[in-house]
Chains A and B, each alone.
Chain A
Amino acid sequence: MSTPLSPSVAALRARFGAAVVRAEVSCGDTIVYVAPGSIHEVLAWLKDEPAERYDYLTDLTAVEYRDRERPLELVYQLWSIGRKVALRVKAELPKDGALEVGTVTDLWRGADWMEREVWDMFGIRFAGHPDLRRILMWENYSEGHPLRKDFPLRGRFSRSEQTHRALSDALEKHYSLDELSTDEAARYLPEGMRERLAGGPGA
């Protein structure tokens, strides 16, 4: 007994052709793999097309497999509130390439924090994201991206080093220039901190 593919797959293939790499069904859910370069186009079409109307972004996350040869996968879980159907769209990002896709925050505002978390945990950048900072770890956390498979469970540094880095007096872990929204507040910062913050997000 196998569930048939969602009808959206045929519509996507008709509209986007080669950008739809493949489609499959797993445990009753349809999964569509698209080329990472066309993610924004495909999702925008799925959202606005009257026959599809996937107006709700349930979840946005990433997967790395234990088999190191397999690429990273970005997973978009879509839901249509009106039609009550779901679709899972994935994009495969080869590890030797640039881990970057376009953002979908202009389609769904909820994607903002979800993309920040994917950046924090996996190191996948989102081009055009308004504020791509780490969200769960502190902003200049330097051990890496925790949910990658080459990141050990207990972290790369020793416990004492982790404690030291957590405690050492660097205020920019807790603030960043972006959140100090007014120019007036920025000039209150100590000189050295302003320079360090100008270095940009993540690391």
Chain B
Amino acid sequence: MDVSPQTGVITNSPNWVTTRIDALVNWSRANSLWPMPFGTACCAIEFMATAASRYDLARFGMERMAYSPRQSDVLICAGRLPFKLAPVIRKIWDQMLQPKWCISMGACASTGGIFDNYAMVQGIDTIIPVDVYVPGCPPRPEGLLHGILMLQQKIKGESVFDPMLRVEKLATQNGMFLEPASVDELSEPFGNSVAQTRSA
């Protein structure tokens, strides 16, 4: 495998051996994603309903809810994230071992949802990297399952031999994961929020 020293890009095409190894590793990772259910609010109830017998996460290999981040693969942030909880999710994310993925379940985890106010983080992607966003308030269990299947597709497209894939951007000295300008841009109000700060 030739890797360009300047850019880290793989410069020769994958061969039969690497694709077979990738297929095996990705298949095993995708089909036994142990979720770290970071359930905070209403989406957590729909997550529990997805795990219950009607929608049954067990058939995707996800019935083992790993409440210890050390033993989990995918962090599912189900629910809104206030600023008081932000260091907690950052710490949980840091405690998870690679390979790890993140599903942002629901509108509040993705963008702050209907809570465009002083207390709410406007999207967990300002704090941790997110792989799949599942819209909905709350998303139906089928919606969450679609998001999980999408993540499985994403995992199946990965390569073990890609040296840049699992490199993670850590939080900087002041605890920030993104540049302040990026955080401000991601958190800008849009849609109805723009017009609704006027009280009476």
Interface residues of A (CB under 8 A from B): 66, 137-138, 143, 146, 151-155, 158-169, 173-174
Contacts and interface: CB of A to CB of B under 8 A. Distances in A.
A165 B118 CA distance: 13
B90 A151 contact: no
Given A167-B127, A167-B176, A159 B187 contact: yes
At the interface, is chain B mostly helix, strand, loop or mixed? loop
Contact of A164 (B84, B174, B181): B174
B127 A154 contact: no
15 contacts: A66-B199, A152-B118, A152-B197, A153-B199, A154-B197, A159-B126, A159-B184, A159-B187, A160-B183, A163-B183, A164-B176, A164-B180, A166-B83, A166-B84, A166-B87
A174 B184 CA distance: 25
A160 B83 contact: no
Top 9 A-B pairs, shortest CB-CB distance: A155-B118, A160-B180, A167-B175, A159-B187, A166-B83, A160-B183, A166-B86, A168-B175, A160-B184
Interface of B: 83-84, 86-87, 90, 116-119, 121-122, 126-127, 171, 174-176, 180-181, 183-184, 187, 189, 197, 199-200
Contact of B118 (A143, A160, A164, A169): A143
Contact of B86 (A153, A155, A163, A169): A163
B59 to A, nearest CB: 37
A154 B117 contact: yes
Contact of B180 (A138, A151, A161, A169): A161
B117 A169 contact: no
B122 A167 contact: no
Contacts of A167: 86-87, 90, 127, 171, 174-176
